[in-house]
Amino acid sequence: MIQAAKLAASALLATAFAGASLQAQAQPQTYPNQPIRIVVPYAPGGFNDTIARVVGRKLQESMGQPVLADNRPGGGTILGLSLVAKAPPDGYTLGVVGFPTVSNQFLVKKLPYDTAKDFTPVILGGYSPNLLVVKADSPIKSLKDFVAAAQARPGKMNYATAGNGTSNHLTMEYFKSIANIELTQVPYKGSAPMITDLIGGQVDIMFDNAPHVMPHVKGGRLRALAITSEKRSPLLPDVPTVAELGYPGFNVAVWYGFAAPAGTPPDIVQKLNREINKALQAEDVKKSFVEAGVEIMGGSTQQFDAFFKSESARWGSVIQKAKITAD
């Protein structure tokens, strides 16, 4: 009798454990339960890398899992973003996206991904305007001087860029179209050599991202004529905006955001959005942004999606009108 009772109890326990096991398998595991990878489609260094690392550290603290920055440079961000587009849509792969994500869809004929369909927007992290700069002893002392000089000698003035389709190239193409001026492009392989040649007088003028040129402006090696933000920067309060100098609506910036593969569950995307918004408010993160001349953005996934679509429409028009192609 006792033995039969023991056997019955054992069978009941086995059934209970089996039921519990099946129930656990049927319920999704809590996210996240493994490391998260942030693909940075650039080499280490630069703010695209910085934002992945500083935000990643905060996510690691708040979400309890390792968050790893994975630098995958190449193809003007195409290599890294193709990895993001093809990754499982499970919330464990994010990518740093930005200005080239928008421009490449119009510059490159055959991308290995569909920009509009293969990514899920998570959040717009930061926003950094361009500065229009000349060497410190240039006779061009204002935006008005620049336009007048360019109109007096169509095509004779030259401007530096970091290559076809880069933000500084497209910013100047955009300004050329509204100011009705002609200039000659001199492409370089990145900001450092073009800054060197601008300081040395080999080129006349250029737009470049504020974090790249601000130290040279503050150090007296370059003169800033205008900034492309909507309002003046508190870091350079004496530099007027292009808009206030007679070109209303001229508002251009390099920006930094996070995206996930298309199909990532909405609840996971929303959790990532909440956690990154929280990370962006941390004092040490704010400090790293300010030091780089980048404005913290944040906001909802819907706001980032709307921003991305508006950027695509604007720069697609500029690229197609100027008939620009990738190098």
**Mean pLDDT taken over the chain:** 89
Q: What is the pLDDT of residue 327?
A: 60
Q: Which tens digit of pLDDT belongs to each residue from 89-112? A: 999 999 999 999 999 999 998 999
Is the distance from CB of 160 to CB of 206 less than 8 angstroms? yes
Q: What is the pLDDT of residue 29?
A: 65
Q: What is the pLDDT of residue 239?
A: 95
Q: Which tens digit of pLDDT belongs to each residue from 185-215? A: 999 888 889 999 999 999 999 999 888 898 8
Q: What is the pLDDT of residue 323?
A: 85
Q: Which tens digit of pLDDT belongs to each residue from 213-271? A: 988 999 999 999 999 998 998 888 999 999 999 999 999 989 999 999 999 999 999 99
Q: What is the pLDDT of residue 199?
A: 96
Q: What is the mean pLDDT of residues 62-81?
A: 94
Is the distance from CB of 148 to CB of 179 less than 8 angstroms? no
Q: What is the mean pLDDT of residues 146-172?
A: 93
pLDDT higher than 90, residue 52: yes
CA-CA distance, 211 to 289, in Å (whole number)? 10
CA-CA distance, 315 to 170, in Å (whole number)? 8
Q: What is the pLDDT of residue 43?
A: 86
Q: What is the mean pLDDT of residues 134-162?
A: 96
* Structural domains of the chain sorted by starting position, each given as residue range(s) with its CATH number in brackets: 36-126+254-322 (3.40.190.150), 129-245 (3.40.190.10)
How far does CA 267 lie from the centroid of its chain?
A: 23
pLDDT higher than 50, residue 2: no
pLDDT higher than 50, residue 8: no
Q: What is the pLDDT of residue 285?
A: 95
Instruction: Assign 291 a pLDDT band (cuts: 50, 70, 90).
Output: confident
* Closest by Cα among 310, 281, 307, 308 to 296: 281
Structure tokens at 313: 């429409």
Q: What is the mean pLDDT of residues 115-129?
A: 96
* Count of C-beta atoms within a 10 Å radius of residue 186: 16
Which amino acid belongs to residue 152?
A
Which residues in the chain belong to E strands, given as ranges? 36-40, 67-71, 93-98, 119-135, 158-161, 184-187, 206-209, 222-227, 253-261, 295-296
pLDDT higher than 70, residue 16: no
